[in-house]
């Protein structure tokens, strides 16, 4: 384990790109789960708030050699760099202590009421995982559409104009699972009790969620695959979201390799995994 957080949990996610069909269910499930604001006209996608964003990538070759893949991008919940120097890029730059790396869960928190909207974190995030509220969200829509509150989840607070928001690994689901465990007289939660909305909704089960510090959890086993990688790994942000793809060109796209630097994995060497 590369991390000094071994005493606590370190929740993380593994996304199998070869399974992902690009259907977008994860994005919808995420937005509905987390009270993500929609505007009356959502056609300007540059301004849309998408905690979970789906990107389309191609290998750039002409037909018939064209290949297309999709990769879903939540917040990477970047970790400590292992030398105790800094935490996640966004946490380091936050002037208001509105975002922190929680050492018990590994989740990067975002407290909307504390955020002053300077957007440094947005600039610092190499993954574009953070979004700014340019308009009033559900809280301040006037007049409030009748019955709209019924579509909102009370477990996630709504945001106002002028604050930054991002994926929280459905942190409220962790609290929900803990409450259930306490009610049943347990102190610890089971692996299956806490998974994010996107992982639950994915129709092809491309997303696996669990505790990276627990060797019995499926995520800990999946990240040992030689095909597992993270985005922009050389920045040393230590993302807790891993991807898996057997396609060399997909893995090559994940980082800024110099020409000739990327080493493809020969299928013969790893066997038929």
Partner 1 sequence: MEKPRRSSLKFVIDLLIGLVLSYYARLISNPLQSGLAYFAAGLIPALFIGWILFPFALYSKQPQPISFNHALHMDSDIADGIEGDTEAEKCLYCHSFRDDGTFAGIPKLELCMECHDDPDSPLGETQAEQQFMTEYVAQEKEVPWLLYSRQPDCVYFSHIAHVQKGELDCQVCHGDHGKTLELPPFQKNRITGYSINIWGKNILGLKSNTWDRMKMDDCAECHTQKGHEENNACFVCHK
Token readout for 108 is 């990067």
Residue 127 interacts with partner 1 (CB under 8 A): yes or no: no
In angstroms, rounded to a whole number, what is the distance separating the alpha carbons of residues 169 and 31? 12
Long-range contacts of 218-221 (CB under 8 A, 24+ apart): 218/14, 218/191, 219/12, 219/13, 219/14
Q: Which does 103 bind (CB under 5 to 8 A by kind): ligand HEC, partner 1, none?
A: partner 1
Element (H, E) at 14: strand 11-16
Count of residues that interact with ligand HEC, criterion CB under 6 A: 7
| Longest Cα separation, the chain | 63
- Each residue 173-202 as x (binds partner 1 by CB under 8 A) or -, in order, gives --xx-xxxxxxx--x---------------
In angstroms, rounded to a whole number, what is the distance separating the alpha carbons of residues 78 and 81? 9
Question: What's the closest the beta carbon of residue 180 comes to partner 1, in angstroms?
Answer: 5
Q: Which does 25 bind (CB under 5 to 8 A by kind): ligand HEC, partner 1, none?
A: none
Residue 105 interacts with partner 1 (CB under 8 A): yes or no: yes
Residue 178 interacts with ligand HEC (CB under 6 A): yes or no: yes
Beta-carbon count within 10 A of 157 CB? 15
Count of residues that interact with partner 1, criterion CB under 8 A: 30
Q: Rg (Cα) of the chain, in Å, rounded?
A: 19
Name the burial class of residue 142, with classes exposed (0-12), middle (13-18) and buried (19+) by CB atoms within 10 angstroms of its CB.
Answer: exposed
In angstroms, rounded to a whole number, what is the distance separating the alpha carbons of residues 220 and 213? 7
Residue 114 interacts with ligand HEC (CB under 6 A): yes or no: yes
Residue 116 interacts with ligand HEC (CB under 6 A): yes or no: no
Question: Which of 25, 87 has the CB closer to partner 1?
Answer: 87
Question: Which residues inside 81-100 make contact with ligand HEC, applying CB under 6 A?
Answer: 97-98, 100
- Chain residues binding partner 1 by CB under 8 A are 8, 100, 102-105, 107, 109, 111-114, 139, 155-158, 168, 171-172, 175-176, 178-184, 187
């Amino acid at each position: 384990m590369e991390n000094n957080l071994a005493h606590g949990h370190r929740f993380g996610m593994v996304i199998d790109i070869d399974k992902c069909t690009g259907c977008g269910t994860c994005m919808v499930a995420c937005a509905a789960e987390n009270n993500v604001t929609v505007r009356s006209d959502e056609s300007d996608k540059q301004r849309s708030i998408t905690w979970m964003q789906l990107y389309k990538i191609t290998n750039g070759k002409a037909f018939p050699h064209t290949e297309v893949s999709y990769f879903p991008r939540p917040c990477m919940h970047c970790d400590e760099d292992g030398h105790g120097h800094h935490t996640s890029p966004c946490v380091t730059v936050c002037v208001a202590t509105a975002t922190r790396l929680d050492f018990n869960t590994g989740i990067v928190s975002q407290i909307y009421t504390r955020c002053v909207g300077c957007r440094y974190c947005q600039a610092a995030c190499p993954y574009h995982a953070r979004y700014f509220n340019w308009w009033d969200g559900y809280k301040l829509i006037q007049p409030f559409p009748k019955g709209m509150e019924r579509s909102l989840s009370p477990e996630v607070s709504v945001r106002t104009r002028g604050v930054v928001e991002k994926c929280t690994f459905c942190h409220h689901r962790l609290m929900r699972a803990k409450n259930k465990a306490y009610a049943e007289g347990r102190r610890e939660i089971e692996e299956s009790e806490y998974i994010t909305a996107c992982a639950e909704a994915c129709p092809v089960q491309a997303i696996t969620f669990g505790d990276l510090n627990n060797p019995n959890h499926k995520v800990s086993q999946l990240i040992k695959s030689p095909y597992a990688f993270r985005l922009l790994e050389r920045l040393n942000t230590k993302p807790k979201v891993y991807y898996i793809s057997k396609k060399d060109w997909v893995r090559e796209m994940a980082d800024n390799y110099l020409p000739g630097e990327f080493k493809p994995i020969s299928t013969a060497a790893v066997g038929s995994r």
